[in-house]
Chains A and B, each alone.
Chain A
Amino acid sequence: MALLEIKDLHAGVVGGKEILRGLNLTINAGEVHAIMGPNGSGKSTLAQVLAGRETYEVTSGSVMFDGKDLLELAPEERACEGLFLAFQYPVEIPGVSTSYFLKSALNAIRKHRGESELDAMDFLKLLKSKMKLLEMDQSFLGRSVNEGFSGGEKKRNEIMQMAVLNPRLAVLDETDSGLDIDALKIVSNGVNALRAPDRGILVVTHYQRLLDYIVPDFVHVLRNGRIIKSGDKNLALELEARGYGWLEQEQPAAV
């Protein structure tokens, strides 16, 4: 059984235009997929629809996650089932400390899985180790979620949260944007550390650069809400060299 199976997905802004127009994608456990595409092609819409954002409405198609109908689940249920979205634009939440929020989230997920809740000490140990992995300063512990963080710090914080929550499927929406080359390496290390036979990763990116560090098993090109071409990592290189224009003439690929 596939980890994620998207079939003929049509979705758009509630009451607005259609953005995803018949999208198909299958991700098996252990695989890393990359979705590339020009600005406005629907990459973030896909990521948000998977995570359950209410701004978007699915008009037809299906998404199965680990054998469950993902579209039936509330956002928090999706998270508890093991879905994680690293946001393109992580929101600032003044007044909520990163550690308190993350501890509550992790324990909600653990409870859902029938695991015991982590106490403050064990959680802090886990958190510190993941912060170290992302080379984040300890001072972030006491700070409010993303508040006053630079663009790069926010992205690091996303991956740090992912490492703590230990999802089965991670969707990374333009995690590379706003990162300098050192930060890109750190973030990629964090993602690569999570690669595992029972886990899937979907990397959404505009540029090929990130894929030098997180080498994907499959690359898909999204355009106008559809996957128009799929291939291996070499497709990313080709896109880098030739741009997206040459794909215009080709037939949409079925995946």
Chain B
Amino acid sequence: MTVLAVEKPERTRSLDRFMPQPHQAAMQVPAWLAALRQAAAERFLQAGFPTIHDEEWRLTNVAPLVERSYGSCKRQEALATAREPAVVAALKAVDLSDANAVRLVLINGNFIPELSSAAPAGVTVRGFGEAIKAGEPALRNLLGKLALPEHHGFVALNAAAFDDGLFIDVAPGSTPSQPLHIVALTHHVAPHDGVLAHPRLLLNLGHHAKLTVLTSWVGGGASPSLTNPVMEAFIGQAAALELVKVVSINDGDSHIASDYVQLADAANLRSFVLNTGGAVVRNNLSTVLDGPAAEATLNGLSLSRGCQHVDNHTLLDHAREHCPSHELYKSILADQASGVFKGRILVRPGAQKTDSKQTSKAILLSDEATMNSQPQLEIYADDVKCTHGSTTGPLNDEQLFYLRSRGLDATRAHAFLTYAFAADAINRISHEAIRAAINQRVVERLHEVAPG
């Protein structure tokens, strides 16, 4: 403690620059939120950012990201940048017109209704400022309930510093046919520094509701930006949520996300993350199966090249009995790219009949690419089934030969196998039009990662 007291002043000073200035607040902050933010700020100033000396961050070094200086870009500026050609292009790049999706635009964490479509019946979509004005009880009841500042510095900083967010509430029994497509852009105005954005999302599905949400993280601008989103999703009894996330930010930008999902009894989560861009990408996904017979499926696909680093950290917290969970994470790594998968499965006492299966697979297209896969099983119940497996290696010689022996040349055989490897994960996306769009994106990206 004494040691901390001595170190604190210097550390606090260096961390202070990440704190928002009071006059910048874009929304009216009620007392409950002010208290939440204050606590988070204190926590952040005390704990700082995680370092490679923290077990959970051993393989992902964020020091270069947080030592840089960033600017901020508030709502008014964000709206102004929305008309810039580069931004218009970035927003258009994510085309989901086939899916008849409801587009919701976030720029640097600010919800931009002017660029967004109207929510379908049964679904409430509001920026946080709006939601607070409207006195949404769910916002107050749920915000910060899953994402705790003590988890790590990025979560604390997000809570302390977000200045808008997206609140989505689905009424009980509502099953809108249109998916929501959140286009989240991190963008800065030249010649300023890159932006540090803290987007915040809160999703609440009433019982028996059903929703599909695609979130596309895109980036623009010449200087490196850092996006630090936090999402909390609550899936009510027998409700179902499909979450598809695409990280296709610029190669110089980074993304450290902390997503939390809580499932009530018989609720269903199906998640898929596609990582294609970025210098450092870290996806923390914590899922708590908090009611009997809830089911979670977590899938992911990373296509990395150059010096990209992608780290998927998942937690499946089996808090209740009779819950199945399935997990498949795949990576294709070229050049000097590095990948991390850490899958923690926690089976709490009483979570009998847990049935959990975890698989991590990686293909290394070069000798210099690396993958680190780690399962972490903590089982405190006796009548459970938990399996995990991981494979890492080059493309399978036998499969390559089989394809070539049928007449496909080596290049095409490679392309077939890398695509096949990827498709195995893509095919687990339920929503057909989104699956097709993701597939298209992967095909294009594979040409870059593993040139045909």
CB within 8 Å for A161 and B406 given contacts A54-B401, A75-B401, A91-B398: yes
Whether A76 and B420, one on each chain, are in contact in the complex, defined by CB atoms closer than 8 angstroms, is no
Alpha-carbon gap, A85 to B406, bound state (A): 8
Alpha-carbon gap, A93 to B399, bound state (A): 7
- Chain B, interface residues (CB within 8 Å), range: 20 to 34
Alpha-carbon gap, A105 to B405, bound state (A): 9
Binding site secondary structure of chain B: helix
Q: Please, which residues of chain A bring their CB within 8 A of the CB of B404?
A: 52, 74-76, 79
Q: Is B412 in the interface zone, CB < 8 Å from A?
A: yes
- Chain A proximity mask over B371-411: 1 for CB below 8 Å, otherwise 0: 00000000000000000000000001111011111111110
| Other-chain contact of B420, A53, A75, A94, A161 (Cβ < 8 Å) | A94
- Chain A proximity mask over B412-452: 1 for CB below 8 Å, otherwise 0: 11001101111110010000000000000000000000000
Minimum Cβ distance to chain B for residue A188 (Å): 22
Whether A94 and B424, one on each chain, are in contact in the complex, defined by CB atoms closer than 8 angstroms, is yes
Closest to B426 in A: A95
Q: Is A106 in the interface zone, CB < 8 Å from B?
A: yes
Binding stretch for chain B, among A22-30, A96-104, A124-132, A195-203: A96-104
Minimum Cβ distance to chain B for residue A86 (Å): 10
Alpha-carbon gap, A109 to B404, bound state (A): 11
| Other-chain contact of A51, B405, B412, B420, B424 (Cβ < 8 Å) | B405
Minimum Cβ distance to chain A for residue B75 (Å): 44
Whether B399 and A108, one on each chain, are in contact in the complex, defined by CB atoms closer than 8 angstroms, is no
Q: Is A210 in the interface zone, CB < 8 Å from B?
A: no
| Other-chain contact of B405, A52, A95, A104 (Cβ < 8 Å) | A52
Closest to B422 in A: A95
Whether B405 and A165, one on each chain, are in contact in the complex, defined by CB atoms closer than 8 angstroms, is no
Closest to A144 in B: B420
CB within 8 Å for A104 and B399 given contacts A75-B405, A85-B405, A94-B424: no
Whether A108 and B409, one on each chain, are in contact in the complex, defined by CB atoms closer than 8 angstroms, is yes
Closest to A55 in B: B397
Whether B420 and A80, one on each chain, are in contact in the complex, defined by CB atoms closer than 8 angstroms, is no
Centre residue among B416, B417, B423 by max chain A CB count within 10 A: B416
Closest to B396 in A: A91
Q: Is A87 in the interface zone, CB < 8 Å from B?
A: yes
Q: Please, which residues of chain B bring their CB within 8 A of the CB of A76?
A: 404-410, 413
Whether B427 and A95, one on each chain, are in contact in the complex, defined by CB atoms closer than 8 angstroms, is yes
Alpha-carbon gap, A91 to B400, bound state (A): 10
A-B contact count (CB 8 A): 83
Whether A108 and B408, one on each chain, are in contact in the complex, defined by CB atoms closer than 8 angstroms, is yes
Whether B427 and A165, one on each chain, are in contact in the complex, defined by CB atoms closer than 8 angstroms, is no
Alpha-carbon gap, A1 to B413, bound state (A): 33
Alpha-carbon gap, A104 to B452, bound state (A): 14
Q: Is A38 in the interface zone, CB < 8 Å from B?
A: no
Closest to B401 in A: A53
Q: Is A231 in the interface zone, CB < 8 Å from B?
A: no
Q: Is A61 in the interface zone, CB < 8 Å from B?
A: no
Alpha-carbon gap, A101 to B401, bound state (A): 14
Alpha-carbon gap, A229 to B417, bound state (A): 42
Whether A104 and B420, one on each chain, are in contact in the complex, defined by CB atoms closer than 8 angstroms, is no
Whether B419 and A95, one on each chain, are in contact in the complex, defined by CB atoms closer than 8 angstroms, is yes
Minimum Cβ distance to chain A for residue B359 (Å): 12
Whether A95 and B406, one on each chain, are in contact in the complex, defined by CB atoms closer than 8 angstroms, is no
Alpha-carbon gap, A95 to B415, bound state (A): 12
Q: Is A151 in the interface zone, CB < 8 Å from B?
A: no
Whether B405 and A79, one on each chain, are in contact in the complex, defined by CB atoms closer than 8 angstroms, is yes
Q: Please, which residues of chain A bring their CB within 8 A of the CB of B409?
A: 74, 76, 108
Q: Please, which residues of chain B bring their CB within 8 A of the CB of A87?
A: 402, 405
Q: Please, which residues of chain A bring their CB within 8 A of the CB of B407?
A: 76, 79-80, 105-106, 108-109, 112, 165
CB within 8 Å for A95 and B408 given contacts A87-B402, A90-B402, A101-B403: no
Q: Please, which residues of chain A bring their CB within 8 A of the CB of B422?
A: 95
Alpha-carbon gap, A25 to B63, bound state (A): 67
Alpha-carbon gap, A80 to B409, bound state (A): 10
Q: Please, which residues of chain A bring their CB within 8 A of the CB of B416?
A: 93, 96, 101, 104
Chain A residues near B (Cβ < 8 Å):
51-55, 74-76, 78-80, 84-85, 87, 90-91, 93-96, 101-102, 104-106, 108-109, 112, 144-145, 161, 165
Query: A-B pairs with the 3 shortest C-beta distances?
Result: A95-B420, A79-B407, A105-B406
Q: Beyond A75-B404, A95-B419, A104-B408: 7 further Cβ-contacts under 8 Å?
A: A74-B410, A91-B396, A93-B399, A94-B420, A95-B420, A101-B416, A105-B406
Q: Enumerate 25 A-B pairs (CB-CB under 8 Å) in ascending A order.
A: A51-B401, A52-B401, A52-B404, A52-B405, A54-B401, A75-B401, A75-B404, A76-B404, A76-B407, A76-B408, A87-B405, A93-B399, A93-B402, A93-B403, A94-B420, A95-B423, A104-B408, A106-B407, A108-B408, A108-B409, A108-B412, A109-B407, A144-B420, A165-B406, A165-B407
